[in-house]
Amino acid sequence: MGEVSPITRFAIRMGGATRHKLTVPGFGEDEFFFIIKPISGQQARMNMACAGLRLTKSEDEDEMDSSLNLWKQFCARADAQVVDFLVPAYKDDGTPLPSRTYSRSVGNNHEVYDALPGDTIKLLSTAMTLVDGDESGLSQDDKKAWEALGNEHSGLLTPLPRA
Protein backbone atom coordinates (compact mmCIF):
# COMPACT_ATOMS: atom_id res chain seq x y z
CA MET A 1 0.00 0.00 0.00
CA GLY A 2 1.10 3.52 -0.72
CA GLU A 3 1.58 6.16 1.89
CA VAL A 4 -1.46 8.03 3.07
CA SER A 5 -0.98 11.77 3.19
CA PRO A 6 -2.41 13.72 6.09
CA ILE A 7 -5.78 15.25 5.45
CA THR A 8 -5.86 18.98 4.97
CA ARG A 9 -8.71 20.54 6.87
CA PHE A 10 -10.38 23.79 5.98
CA ALA A 11 -12.55 25.61 8.43
CA ILE A 12 -15.70 27.09 6.99
CA ARG A 13 -17.43 29.57 9.17
CA MET A 14 -21.19 29.62 8.79
CA GLY A 15 -22.83 32.80 10.04
CA GLY A 16 -21.82 34.47 13.26
CA ALA A 17 -20.11 37.40 11.54
CA THR A 18 -19.66 40.48 13.67
CA ARG A 19 -22.57 42.81 13.15
CA HIS A 20 -22.52 46.55 13.68
CA LYS A 21 -25.30 48.95 14.56
CA LEU A 22 -25.37 52.25 12.74
CA THR A 23 -27.35 54.78 14.74
CA VAL A 24 -28.44 57.75 12.65
CA PRO A 25 -27.33 61.03 14.30
CA GLY A 26 -30.08 63.08 15.88
CA PHE A 27 -32.10 60.03 16.90
CA GLY A 28 -31.97 57.67 19.87
CA GLU A 29 -30.20 54.35 19.36
CA ASP A 30 -33.53 52.51 19.13
CA GLU A 31 -35.33 55.11 16.98
CA PHE A 32 -33.43 55.06 13.67
CA PHE A 33 -30.79 52.42 13.01
CA PHE A 34 -29.38 49.84 10.60
CA ILE A 35 -27.75 46.52 11.55
CA ILE A 36 -24.94 45.80 9.10
CA LYS A 37 -22.74 42.74 8.55
CA PRO A 38 -19.73 42.21 6.31
CA ILE A 39 -20.45 40.75 2.89
CA SER A 40 -20.30 36.97 3.15
CA GLY A 41 -19.63 34.71 0.23
CA GLN A 42 -18.37 35.17 -3.27
CA GLN A 43 -21.86 34.94 -4.77
CA ALA A 44 -22.97 38.05 -2.85
CA ARG A 45 -19.81 39.89 -3.95
CA MET A 46 -20.40 38.93 -7.59
CA ASN A 47 -24.06 39.97 -7.43
CA MET A 48 -23.03 43.32 -5.98
CA ALA A 49 -20.25 43.82 -8.55
CA CYS A 50 -22.59 43.12 -11.48
CA ALA A 51 -25.65 44.97 -10.18
CA GLY A 52 -26.56 47.90 -12.36
CA LEU A 53 -23.91 47.10 -14.96
CA ARG A 54 -25.24 47.29 -18.48
CA LEU A 55 -23.37 46.44 -21.65
CA THR A 56 -24.75 47.32 -25.06
CA LYS A 57 -23.37 46.76 -28.50
CA SER A 58 -22.20 50.01 -30.00
CA GLU A 59 -22.79 51.02 -33.58
CA ASP A 60 -19.23 49.92 -34.25
CA GLU A 61 -19.50 46.12 -34.30
CA ASP A 62 -16.18 45.65 -32.48
CA GLU A 63 -17.01 47.71 -29.39
CA MET A 64 -19.36 47.63 -26.43
CA ASP A 65 -20.74 50.56 -24.45
CA SER A 66 -21.20 50.24 -20.73
CA SER A 67 -23.16 52.07 -18.09
CA LEU A 68 -23.50 51.67 -14.35
CA ASN A 69 -26.63 52.34 -12.33
CA LEU A 70 -25.32 53.46 -8.93
CA TRP A 71 -28.72 53.08 -7.26
CA LYS A 72 -28.80 49.38 -8.21
CA GLN A 73 -25.24 49.06 -6.87
CA PHE A 74 -26.30 50.62 -3.56
CA CYS A 75 -29.36 48.37 -3.27
CA ALA A 76 -27.31 45.25 -4.05
CA ARG A 77 -24.81 46.20 -1.34
CA ALA A 78 -27.62 46.87 1.14
CA ASP A 79 -29.25 43.52 0.24
CA ALA A 80 -25.94 41.79 1.01
CA GLN A 81 -25.13 43.66 4.22
CA VAL A 82 -28.18 45.15 5.95
CA VAL A 83 -29.83 42.51 8.14
CA ASP A 84 -32.20 44.75 10.12
CA PHE A 85 -33.32 48.36 10.36
CA LEU A 86 -35.82 50.66 11.97
CA VAL A 87 -36.64 53.83 10.03
CA PRO A 88 -39.07 56.42 11.37
CA ALA A 89 -41.76 57.57 8.97
CA TYR A 90 -43.72 60.81 8.88
CA LYS A 91 -46.54 62.34 6.86
CA ASP A 92 -45.81 65.51 4.91
CA ASP A 93 -47.22 67.57 7.79
CA GLY A 94 -44.81 65.94 10.26
CA THR A 95 -47.31 63.58 11.86
CA PRO A 96 -45.55 60.34 12.83
CA LEU A 97 -46.45 57.12 11.01
CA PRO A 98 -45.53 53.60 12.10
CA SER A 99 -41.79 53.08 11.68
CA ARG A 100 -40.61 51.03 8.71
CA THR A 101 -38.83 47.81 9.61
CA TYR A 102 -36.66 45.32 7.75
CA SER A 103 -38.54 42.92 5.48
CA ARG A 104 -37.53 39.65 3.89
CA SER A 105 -38.92 41.14 0.68
CA VAL A 106 -36.10 43.13 -0.89
CA GLY A 107 -38.65 45.15 -2.87
CA ASN A 108 -40.10 46.48 0.38
CA ASN A 109 -36.61 47.32 1.65
CA HIS A 110 -35.79 49.15 -1.61
CA GLU A 111 -38.91 51.30 -1.11
CA VAL A 112 -37.58 52.27 2.31
CA TYR A 113 -34.10 53.03 0.94
CA ASP A 114 -35.67 55.09 -1.85
CA ALA A 115 -37.48 57.26 0.73
CA LEU A 116 -34.27 57.99 2.69
CA PRO A 117 -32.70 61.43 2.37
CA GLY A 118 -29.43 61.58 0.42
CA ASP A 119 -27.29 62.27 3.50
CA THR A 120 -28.67 59.14 5.21
CA ILE A 121 -27.94 57.06 2.11
CA LYS A 122 -24.37 58.42 2.10
CA LEU A 123 -24.05 57.61 5.82
CA LEU A 124 -25.34 54.06 5.31
CA SER A 125 -23.16 53.51 2.24
CA THR A 126 -20.04 54.66 4.11
CA ALA A 127 -20.90 52.46 7.10
CA MET A 128 -21.42 49.40 4.88
CA THR A 129 -18.04 49.99 3.23
CA LEU A 130 -16.32 50.31 6.62
CA VAL A 131 -18.03 47.23 8.10
CA ASP A 132 -16.89 45.24 5.07
CA GLY A 133 -13.32 46.37 5.78
CA ASP A 134 -12.81 48.06 2.41
CA GLU A 135 -11.68 51.59 3.23
CA SER A 136 -10.10 51.82 -0.23
CA GLY A 137 -13.65 52.29 -1.53
CA LEU A 138 -13.91 55.63 0.29
CA SER A 139 -12.55 58.96 -0.83
CA GLN A 140 -10.44 61.08 1.53
CA ASP A 141 -13.39 63.48 1.85
CA ASP A 142 -15.68 60.60 2.85
CA LYS A 143 -13.18 59.41 5.47
CA LYS A 144 -12.81 62.92 6.92
CA ALA A 145 -16.59 63.46 6.98
CA TRP A 146 -17.12 60.08 8.72
CA GLU A 147 -14.44 60.85 11.31
CA ALA A 148 -15.89 64.32 12.00
CA LEU A 149 -19.40 62.92 12.34
CA GLY A 150 -18.14 60.15 14.62
CA ASN A 151 -16.40 62.71 16.82
CA GLU A 152 -19.59 64.76 17.04
CA HIS A 153 -21.89 61.76 17.64
CA SER A 154 -20.25 59.03 19.70
CA GLY A 155 -21.57 55.54 19.12
CA LEU A 156 -22.25 56.10 15.44
CA LEU A 157 -21.19 52.55 14.51
CA THR A 158 -20.98 50.04 17.35
CA PRO A 159 -20.12 46.35 17.18
CA LEU A 160 -22.82 44.03 18.48
CA PRO A 161 -22.25 40.77 20.37
CA ARG A 162 -22.18 37.69 18.16
CA ALA A 163 -25.52 35.99 17.89
Strand order in the sheet with 20-23: 96-101, 82-90, 33-36, 20-23, 157-159
Other beta carbons less than 10 A from residue 106's beta carbon = 13
Does the residue 53 lie in any domain? no
Does the residue 5 lie in any domain? no
pTM score = 0.81
pLDDT in tens, 104-148: 888 899 999 999 999 999 999 999 999 998 888 899 999 999 999
Supply the range of the domain harboring residue 96. 20-40+78-159
Does the residue 63 lie in any domain? no
* SS3 call for 159: strand
Does the residue 71 lie in any domain? no
For 40, counting Cβ atoms within 10 Å of its Cβ (0-12 exposed, 13-18 middle, 19+ buried), the class is middle
Does the residue 7 lie in any domain? no
> Which residues 6+ apart lie within 8 Å of 48 measured at CB?
39, 73, 76, 77, 80
Does the residue 150 lie in any domain? yes
Does the residue 2 lie in any domain? no
Q: What pLDDT is stored for residue 106 in this prediction?
A: 83
Give the residue among 153, 120, 125 at the shortest CA–CA distance from 138. Answer: 125
Q: Are 20 and 35 in contact (CB under 8 A)?
A: yes
Does the residue 88 lie in any domain? yes
Average pLDDT, the chain: 85
d(CA 129, CA 113): 17
Total domains in the fold of the chain: 1
